[in-house]
């Protein structure tokens, strides 16, 4: 049975970083969860480190910055719920 992540194993063998592989995986049509699985399998990353590689590949400087960007929208949603 062929390895679904073989192209990314090859990228790793050629010295590509997890962020570069995450970008290539997105370009290849992999959704978020398959990209997490790929990074964990190919690079042996923890869940947090795999998520970090994905958000950095999408243009954020860090997972912390990405998660911080969610706070205003969450606060607004909570206020809207409270006023109902």
| Residue 2 confidence (pLDDT) | 59
Query: What are 37-51's pLDDT values in tens digits?
Result: 999 999 999 999 999
pLDDT of 1 > 50? The answer is: no
- Number of continuous H segments (helices) and E segments (strands) in the chain: 5, 0
Between 80 and 13, the higher pLDDT residue: 13
Domain extent listing, the chain: 6-82
Between 68 and 54, the higher pLDDT residue: 54
20 burial type by CB count under 10 A (0-12 exposed, 13-18 middle, 19+ buried): middle
Mean pLDDT of 1-10: 85
Mean pLDDT of 60-76: 89
């Amino acid at each position: 049975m062929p390895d679904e992540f073989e192209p990314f194993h090859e990228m790793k063998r050629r010295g590509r970083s997890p962020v570069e592989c995450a970008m290539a995986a997105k370009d290849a049509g992999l959704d978020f969860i398959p990209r997490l699985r790929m990074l964990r399998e190919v690079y042996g990353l923890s869940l947090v480190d795999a998520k970090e590689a994905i958000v950095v590949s999408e243009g954020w400087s860090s997972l912390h910055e990405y998660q911080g960007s969610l706070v205003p929208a969450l606060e607004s949603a909570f206020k809207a719920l409270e006023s109902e």
